[in-house]
């Protein structure tokens, strides 16, 4: 621990020293900077050269990773040790995309036979629905799927569908997560129950929001098809066969997964069955293969050439070395527009912890606030703050090197904005340059004195640029696996368990207590504000 404490001290000192330099000037001072800070892995190009660290800062960050034993933690996770200590579980979402013959064990128990059995069931079901072999109650083929889940059972599959969906899908895919009835109404308004398959995703089949929407969907089906017919339009992703049977779902329409798969890491499993059906099995298998390629890189590459490790260390450098508490993720790709929302759960639920596995408070700040949306749209929204605000917010800018979608010339315009923003954030625009421009326009000195400072850009704002060669199932799988492993590395260095989420539970428990009070019962023990609001809102 003494070595780890010393490594933290060195990181903070190096960050403060680098923070006094301009990033753009580091390229001249460090001839090997670009080569050291760019990587090509699994169809992705990662450029970390516009980050705020200098050579000494990068070295200090790598020393910290070694002192925190990232390599040992990586081996324990991939080896199936029970690294989720608070729940006594292994963490093996990597097994879900591994080839069938891989030797992977969860706490010493082989798992790949189970994984492959479920994969083959998913494949067979996908092909049967797409071919029309599995039909609805009236003999019509399914033309739409209604996916019902929340959190990790929703965000990942939504993002996956956006990324891979055909332009004109043979089977449409809709999602419902919110317990707000408006989402159910709007999502089902133009669907035909006779040709809609409902897939309910809930591991325990007890999640309040999901079961509320599942009940509404079953009633919607039964109204059109009768009670017997409704069952032919239902499938589930769950381990609670007694509960799914009670709901009216046949056992052969229930697909399970394992307790060593956390919700936010579950999109590689049967949780994404709806996407596999709507996109086709080949696309889903390609997604798994791309992630497996990133897994192999993460497992074998040395830390200084390891894409997830370097991406994590850039965040550690900003968060802990320079006290930058937020990060913006901006994909210049419409199909990836939900990426920031997905990463909010992946990173903030995983590492938004203030207590370590030993029950003691952590010694350093942990997860950043993640936010973002698609470029170029956000250039006309919050980028003003990114360029000229009082806080410096590191950014990740993500683009596609090549794309054949859309009218000719559109992609080049998108890429020009992506590259320009990364450069502008770093180089800025000096006030002297603005003054010269205003003088050339004949603006009087009094106006220049007030206008020039407003039009100048300080620059020196760090960013990472990540390019996918093309958006394919394989590169998308590699991208998501990259962020999963990045999140894991950060958790190891911060000293938190990245795989539990006790902070989610308290609100659920309290909502369960308040619901009967809103419906009919007397108001229980609450703070004065909550008690007054319950009284006001009681039905």
Helices within 137-232 (DSSP H only): 155-164, 181-188, 208-231
pLDDT of 418 strictly over 70: yes
Task: Please report, for residues 164, 335, 398, the alpha-carbon distance to residue 46 in angstroms, rounded to integers and kept in the order given.
Answer: 22, 19, 9
- Predicted confidence at residue 372, as pLDDT, reads 98
Say whether both 73 and 184 belong to one domain. Answer: no
- Predicted confidence at residue 476, as pLDDT, reads 98
Residue 281 lies in a domain: no
Residue 331 lies in a domain: yes
Looking at 325-412, which runs of residues are DSSP E strands?
Answer: 326-332, 369-371, 395-400
Residue 279 lies in a domain: no
Residue 94 lies in a domain: no
Q: What is the mean pLDDT of residues 499-528?
A: 89
pLDDT of 521 strictly over 80: no
- Predicted confidence at residue 438, as pLDDT, reads 96
Residue 267 lies in a domain: no
Task: Please report, for residues 155, 206, 271, the alpha-carbon distance to residue 419 in angstroms, rounded to integers and kept in the order given.
Answer: 28, 47, 36
Residue 436 lies in a domain: no
Say whether both 383 and 405 belong to one domain. Answer: yes
> 346-362 pLDDT, tens per residue?
999 999 999 999 999 99
Say whether both 342 and 236 belong to one domain. Answer: no
The catalytic residues are: 349, 380, 508
> 162-212 pLDDT, tens per residue?
999 999 999 999 999 999 999 999 999 999 999 999 999 999 999 999 999
Q: How confident is the model at residue 539 (pLDDT cuts 50, 70, 90)?
A: low
The closest alpha carbon to 271, from 372, 369, 383, 160, belongs to 160
pLDDT of 1 strictly over 60: no
Residue 269 lies in a domain: no
> 369-403 pLDDT, tens per residue?
999 999 999 999 999 999 999 999 999 999 999 99
Q: How confident is the model at residue 433 (pLDDT cuts 50, 70, 90)?
A: very high
pLDDT of 367 strictly over 60: yes
Say whether both 201 and 343 belong to one domain. Answer: no
Say whether both 220 and 249 belong to one domain. Answer: yes
Say whether both 330 and 248 belong to one domain. Answer: no
Q: How confident is the model at residue 286 (pLDDT cuts 50, 70, 90)?
A: very high
Say whether both 76 and 126 belong to one domain. Answer: no
Distance CA 12, CA 503 (A): 29
Which of 215, 242, 257 is a domain's end point? 257
pLDDT of 504 strictly over 90: no
Number of domains present in the structure of the chain: 3
Distance CA 225, CA 242 (A): 24
3-state SS class at 156: helix
Residue 45 lies in a domain: yes
Peptide linkage before 419 cis (omega within 30 of 0): no
User: What residues make up the domain containing 517?
Assistant: 503-537
Judging by beta carbons within 10 Å of its beta carbon (0-12, 13-18, 19+), is residue 353 exposed, middle or buried?
buried
Say whether both 168 and 218 belong to one domain. Answer: yes
Q: What is the mean pLDDT of the chain?
A: 96
Percent of the chain with pLDDT over 70: 99
pLDDT of 523 strictly over 90: no
Say whether both 408 and 299 belong to one domain. Answer: yes
Do the beta carbons of residue 49 and residue 37 sit within 8 Å? yes
pLDDT of 538 strictly over 80: yes
Say whether both 484 and 354 belong to one domain. Answer: yes
Name which of 73-87, 222-236, 372-386, 501-515 the model is least confident about: 501-515
Show the CA angle centred on residue 84, arms to residues 78 and 86, nearest 5°. 170
> 91-129 pLDDT, tens per residue?
999 999 999 999 999 999 999 999 999 999 999 999 999
3-state SS class at 77: helix
Q: How confident is the model at residue 81 (pLDDT cuts 50, 70, 90)?
A: very high
Which of 215, 239, 257 is a domain's end point? 257
Say whether both 176 and 226 belong to one domain. Answer: yes
- Predicted confidence at residue 506, as pLDDT, reads 87
At 375, which CATH number?
3.40.50.10490
pLDDT of 2 strictly over 70: no
Residue 110: beta bridge partners?
A: 105
Say whether both 363 and 423 belong to one domain. Answer: yes
Distance CA 305, CA 318 (A): 19
């Amino acid at each position: 621990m003494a070595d780890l404490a010393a490594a933290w001290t060195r990181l903070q000192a190096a960050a403060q020293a680098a923070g006094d330099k301009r990033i753009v000037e580091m390229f001249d001072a460090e001839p090997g900077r670009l080569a050291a800070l760019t990587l090509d892995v699994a169809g992705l190009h990662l450029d970390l050269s516009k980050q705020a660290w200098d050579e000494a800062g990068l070295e200090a960050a790598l020393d910290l990773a070694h002192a925190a034993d990232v390599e040992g933690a990586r081996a324990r996770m991939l080896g199936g040790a029970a690294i989720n200590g608070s729940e006594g579980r292994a963490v093996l979402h990597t097994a879900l995309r591994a080839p069938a013959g891989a030797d992977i064990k969860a706490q010493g128990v082989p798992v790949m036979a189970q994984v492959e059995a479920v994969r083959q069931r998913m494949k067979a079901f996908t092909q049967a629905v797409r071919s029309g072999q599995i039909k609805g109650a009236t003999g019509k083929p399914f033309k739409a799927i209604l996916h019902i889940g929340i959190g990790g059972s929703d965000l990942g599959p939504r993002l996956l569908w956006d990324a891979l969906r055909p332009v004109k899908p043979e089977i449409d895919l809709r999602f419902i997560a919110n317990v707000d009835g408006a989402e159910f109404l709007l999502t089902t308004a133009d669907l035909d129950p006779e040709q809609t398959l409902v897939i309910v995703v809930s591991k325990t089949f007890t999640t309040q929001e999901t079961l509320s929407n599942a009940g509404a969907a079953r009633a919607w089906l039964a109204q059109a098809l009768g009670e017997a017919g409704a069952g032919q339009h239902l499938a589930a992703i769950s381990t609670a066969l007694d509960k799914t049977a009670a709901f009216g779902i046949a056992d052969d329409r229930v697909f399970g997964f394992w307790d060593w798969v956390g919700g936010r890491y579950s999109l590689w499993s049967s949780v994404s069955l709806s996407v596999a059906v709507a996109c086709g099995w080949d696309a889903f298998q390609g997604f798994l293969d791309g992630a497996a390629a990133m897994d192999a890189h993460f497992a074998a590459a040395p830390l200084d050439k390891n894409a997830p490790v370097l991406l994590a260390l850039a965040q550690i450098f900003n968060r802990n070395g320079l006290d930058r508490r937020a990060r913006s993720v901006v994909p210049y790709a419409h199909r990836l527009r939900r990426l920031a929302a997905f990463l909010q759960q992946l990173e903030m639920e995983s590492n938004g912890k203030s207590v370590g596995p030993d029950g003691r408070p952590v010694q350093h700040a942990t997860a950043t606030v993640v936010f973002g949306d698609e470029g170029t749209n956000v250039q006309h929204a919050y980028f003003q703050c990114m360029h000229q605000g009082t806080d410096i917010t590191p950014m990740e800018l993500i683009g596609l090197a090549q794309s054949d979608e859309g009218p000719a010339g559109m992609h080049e315009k998108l890429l020009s904005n992506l590259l320009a923003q990364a450069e502008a954030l770093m180089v800025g625009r000096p006030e002297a340059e603005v003054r010269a421009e205003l003088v050339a326009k004949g603006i009087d000195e009094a106006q220049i004195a007030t206008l020039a400072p407003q039009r100048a850009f300080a620059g020196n704002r760090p960013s990472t640029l990540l390019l996918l060669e093309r958006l394919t199932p394989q590169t998308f799988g590699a991208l998501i696996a990259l962020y999963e492993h990045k999140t894991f590395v950060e958790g190891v260095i911060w000293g938190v368990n990245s795989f539990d989420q006790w902070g989610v539970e308290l609100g659920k428990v309290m909502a369960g207590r308040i619901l009967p009070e809103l419906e009919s019962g007397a108001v229980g023990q609450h703070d004065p504000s909550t008690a007054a609001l319950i009284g006001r809102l009681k039905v």
